[in-house]
C-alpha cells in the first residue's frame, strides 16, 4: 500500500565502530499506520539501526526523515517527545513501583505543585482500558504477570502520543495467549494510524500481524517486501544470505557420515523448560558430533542448559550414560561426566584475572585437593599436558587468561572440561568470535575428540559448521525438534527448510 508520504524514511545510514561498519547504507521506510517487521540474524544490524533512529547512537552518514521533517534525535527521551517510543525486550520499568507510577514517571500530573495521585491513577486506568486491561493501577507492577507488565510498557510508550512505536522482541517472554493480546494491541494501534516497527525472531508471528518486512544482513538492508508476497523459505534465505534456488534444490552432502557411533551418552525426550523449550527430543552417542541448529530463540541453549542441570526441566525424560536422571544442578551433570562450554565465554566461562593454570583446572579442583590443600604438582602436570595437547599459545601456565586470544581462551575452556574426562561435551557456539585460523584448529580438535570416543553436542548458528562438522543434526524451531537429519541429508538447504518450518522438514525427519 504505497502512500504518498511515508512516516519514516531512513536512507543510506552508515555507522562505524572503530572503523568497522555496523551499518552500511542501511535503509528503512515505514508508512503511517503500518506494521513493519524488521528481521535478520544476530549481528545483522537491527538494533544498531533502531538505536541510530532513537538517538542512542549517532550516525556517521545518511539521512532520517520523520513526519516530513529531517531529524537527528539526541537521546531516546528526545525521540519519545518527538513521537518515537521504544519498547525493549527486557521490560524496562520499575517493578516495585505502582502501575500508574510506571506509566507517568518523568511526566507526573501535578496539582498545586504536588503530585495529583487521583488524576494519575484515573488516567492510567483509562489508558490501560484502551488495551482491554483492567487492573488495580495502585498496586506494584511486580504483582502482575509478565504479559501485563509488557502491556504497561506499551501503554506507557503509546501514551506519549507516539506516531511510531518500536517493539524489540516484545514476545520473547510471553506465552501464546499473551502474544495474542499483544497482537490485538498492535492491530488497534494500526487502526489508530500509529506505525509499528516489530522485531522478532519468530517468523510465524510476522505473518500474523505485519504488513511488510525488511530483512537486514551484515549491516545492509537486503530486502523489503509485502508480507503476503514473501514465503518463509525466501525470508530465511534472505536472512542467511543464501540463494533461494540453493534452498529449494538441495546440494550434495559434504562427506560420508563416519558412523563409528557407540552407545548412547545422552537421550532426551519430550523436554520442556519454561516457555522456550516445549518439546525437544535429541540423542547423542559416544564418538558422535551432534549438531543442534535453529534460529535464535528456538530453544537450543535452553535445551543444553537443562541437560546440564543449569535450569531444571519442567517435564520430559533425560538419560545420561544410560541412566534416567533429572539434573537439578550442574554439579549433578558434571558428576555423570558432562561438560558444558557456554555461549558467552566472557560472562560465564573464563575468570579473566586468573591464570591459565587456575582457569584450566577449576572444574576438577575438588579432585586435586588433598587435606584441603591443592596438590600443585599434579595440577601443573595436568595443565602442561593439556596446554601441549591443545596447542594453547600462552607465555606459560601463569599468564592471565584475559591476555590470551579468543581462540586460545576457548581452548583453555575446552581443556577445563577435557581434563575432567567427560563422556559428553556440550559446546554452545564454540567458534563464535574466534579468528579463522583458530576456528579451524578448534573444529579439528572437536573432531579428534569425538574420534576418541567423546560424545559432542554442538550448538552453532553457522550453517557450515553444522553441515561439515556434525554426524547428525537436530533442528529446533520454537522450542520443538522439527527435524532429525543424518549427516548425508544434513545439507544447508535441508536445515534451512526445517528452520523455516516449511514442508520439507517433516519429509527429512527420521531419514
**Binding stretches for another protein (CB under 8 A):** 75-77, 80, 88, 92-97, 101, 105-106, 108, 110, 114-115, 117, 130-135, 139-140, 142-148, 151, 173, 177-178, 180-181, 184-185, 187-188, 191, 273-275, 311
DSSP structural state of residue 177: H
Nearest-approach distance from CB 364 to another protein, in angstroms: 30
Nearest-approach distance from CB 408 to another protein, in angstroms: 32
Measured from the CB atom, is 46 or 345 closer to another protein? 46
- Residue 59's alpha-carbon distances to 25, 52, 88, 134, 220, in angstroms, are 11, 6, 21, 41, 14
**Which pairing describes strands 61-66 and 8-17: parallel, antiparallel, or unpaired?**
antiparallel
Nearest-approach distance from CB 106 to another protein, in angstroms: 5
Measured from the CB atom, is 77 or 369 closer to another protein? 77
Measured from the CB atom, is 117 or 207 closer to another protein? 117
Measured from the CB atom, is 115 or 365 closer to another protein? 115
* Cα separation, 474 vs 495, whole angstroms: 9
**CB contact set of 192 (below 8 Å; sequence gap of 6+):** 33
* Cα separation, 153 vs 506, whole angstroms: 39
Measured from the CB atom, is 188 or 224 closer to another protein? 188
Q: What is the DSSP code string of 189-236?
A: HHHTT-EEEEE-S-HHHHHHH-SEEEEEETTEEEEEEEGGG--HHHHH
DSSP structural state of residue 160: T
Measured from the CB atom, is 154 or 426 closer to another protein? 154
Measured from the CB atom, is 184 or 348 closer to another protein? 184
Measured from the CB atom, is 296 or 365 closer to another protein? 296
* Residue the block writes with cell 549481528: 43
CB neighbours (10 Å) of residue 265? 29
From 298, 304, 303, select the one nearest 478 (Cα to Cα): 298
* Cα separation, 208 vs 34, whole angstroms: 13
Measured from the CB atom, is 24 or 181 closer to another protein? 181
Nearest-approach distance from CB 194 to another protein, in angstroms: 14
- Cα atoms found within 13 Å of the Cα of residue 68, Cβ hemisphere only: 2
Nearest-approach distance from CB 128 to another protein, in angstroms: 9
Nearest-approach distance from CB 322 to another protein, in angstroms: 29
Measured from the CB atom, is 34 or 311 closer to another protein? 311
Nearest-approach distance from CB 96 to another protein, in angstroms: 4
- Residue 145's alpha-carbon distances to 131, 135, 175, 328, in angstroms, are 15, 11, 11, 26
Nearest-approach distance from CB 188 to another protein, in angstroms: 5
Helix (H, G, I), strand (E, B) or coil at 441: helix
Measured from the CB atom, is 110 or 393 closer to another protein? 110
From 355, 396, 364, 405, select the one nearest 382 (Cα to Cα): 364
* Cα separation, 46 vs 217, whole angstroms: 9
Nearest-approach distance from CB 166 to another protein, in angstroms: 12
Cell of 168: 524489540
Nearest-approach distance from CB 78 to another protein, in angstroms: 8
Nearest-approach distance from CB 77 to another protein, in angstroms: 3
From 30, 46, 453, 57, select the one nearest 265 (Cα to Cα): 453
Please state whether 379 falls in left (phi above 0), alpha (psi between -120 and 50) or beta. alpha
Measured from the CB atom, is 131 or 474 closer to another protein? 131
Q: Please give the distance of CA 29 from its chain centroid, rounded to a whole number.
A: 26
Question: Is 43 buried (19+), middle (13-18) or exposed (0-12) by CB count in 10 A?
Answer: middle
Nearest-approach distance from CB 407 to another protein, in angstroms: 33
From 246, 244, 281, select the one nearest 475 (Cα to Cα): 281
Amino acid at each position: 500500500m504505497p502512500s504518498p508520504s511515508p512516516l519514516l524514511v531512513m536512507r543510506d545510514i552508515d555507522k562505524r565502530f572503530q572503523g568497522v561498519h555496523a551499518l552500511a547504507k542501511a535503509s528503512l521506510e515505514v508508512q503511517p499506520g503500518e506494521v513493519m517487521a524488521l528481521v535478520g540474524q544476530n549481528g545483522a544490524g537491527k538494533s544498531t539501526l533502531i538505536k541510530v533512529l532513537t538517538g542512542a547512537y549517532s550516525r556517521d552518514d545518511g539521512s532520517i526523515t520523520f513526519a516530513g521533517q529531517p531529524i537527528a534525535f539526541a537521546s531516546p527521551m528526545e525521540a519519545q517527545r518527538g513521537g518515537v517510543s521504544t519498547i525493549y525486550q527486557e521490560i524496562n520499568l520499575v517493578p516495585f513501583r505502582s502501575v500508574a507510577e510506571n506509566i507517568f514517571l518523568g511526566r507526573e500530573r501535578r496539582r498545586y505543585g504536588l503530585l495529583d495521585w487521583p488524576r494519575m491513577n484515573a488516567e492510567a486506568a483509562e489508558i490501560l482500558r484502551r488495551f482491554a486491561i483492567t487492573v488495580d493501577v495502585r498496586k506494584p507492577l511486580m504483582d502482575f504477570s509478565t504479559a501485563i507488565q509488557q502491556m504497561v510498557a506499551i501503554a506507557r510508550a503509546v501514551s506519549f502520543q507516539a506516531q511510531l512505536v518500536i517493539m524489540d522482541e516484545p514476545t520473547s517472554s510471553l506465552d501464546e495467549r499473551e502474544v495474542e493480546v499483544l497482537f490485538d494491541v498492535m492491530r488497534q494501534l494500526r487502526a489508530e494510524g500509529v506505525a509499528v516497527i516489530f522485531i522478532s525472531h519468530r517468523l510465524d508471528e510476522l505473518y500474523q500481524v505485519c504488513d511488510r518486512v525488511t530483512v537486514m544482513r551484515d549491516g545492509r538492508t537486503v530486502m523489503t517486501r509485502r508480507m503476503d508476497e514473501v514465503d518463509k523459505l525466501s525470508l530465511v534465505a534472505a536472512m542467511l544470505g543464501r540463494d533461494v534456488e540453493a534452498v529449494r534444490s538441495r546440494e550434495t552432502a559434504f562427506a560420508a557420515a563416519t558412523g563409528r557411533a557407540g552407545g548412547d551418552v545422552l537421550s532426551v525426550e519430550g523436554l520442556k523448560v519454561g516457555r522456550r523449550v516445549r518439546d525437544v527430543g535429541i540423542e547423542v552417542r559416544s564418538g558422535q558430533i551432534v549438531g543442534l541448529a535453529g534460529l535464535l530463540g528456538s530453544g537450543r541453549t535452553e535445551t543444553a542448559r537443562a541437560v546440564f542441570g543449569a535450569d531444571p526441566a519442567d517435564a520430559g525424560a533425560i538419560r545420561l550414560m544410560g541412566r534416567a536422571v533429572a539434573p537439578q544442578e550442574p554439579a549433578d551433570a558434571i558428576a555423570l561426566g558432562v561438560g558444558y562450554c557456554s555461549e558467552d565465554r566472557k560472562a560465564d566461562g573464563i575468570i579473566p584475572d586468573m591464570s591459565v593454570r587456575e582457569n584450566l583446572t577449576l572444574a576438577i579442583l575438588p579432585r586435586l585437593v588433598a587435606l584441603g590443600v591443592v596438590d600443585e604438582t599434579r595440577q601443573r602436570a595436568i595443565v602442561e599436558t593439556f596446554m601441549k595437547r591443545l596447542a594453547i599459545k600462552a607465555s606459560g601456565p601463569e599468564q592471565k587468561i584475559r591476555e590470551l586470544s579468543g581462540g586460545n581462551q576457548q581452548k583453555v575452556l575446552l581443556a577445563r572440561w577435557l581434563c575432567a574426562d567427560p563422556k559428553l561435551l556440550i559446546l554452545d557456539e564454540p567458534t563464535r568470535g574466534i579468528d579463522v585460523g583458530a576456528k579451524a584448529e578448534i573444529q579439528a580438535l572437536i573432531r579428534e575428540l569425538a574420534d576418541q570416543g567423546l560424545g559432542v553436542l554442538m550448538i552453532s548458528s553457522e550453517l557450515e559448521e553444522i553441515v561439515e562438522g556434525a554426524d547428525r543434526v537436530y533442528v529446533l524451531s520454537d522450542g520443538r525438534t522439527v527435524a532429525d537429519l543424518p549427516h548425508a541429508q544434513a545439507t544447508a538447504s535441508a536445515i534451512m527448510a526445517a528452520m523455516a518450518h516449511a514442508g520439507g522438514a517433516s519429509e527429512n525427519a527420521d531419514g
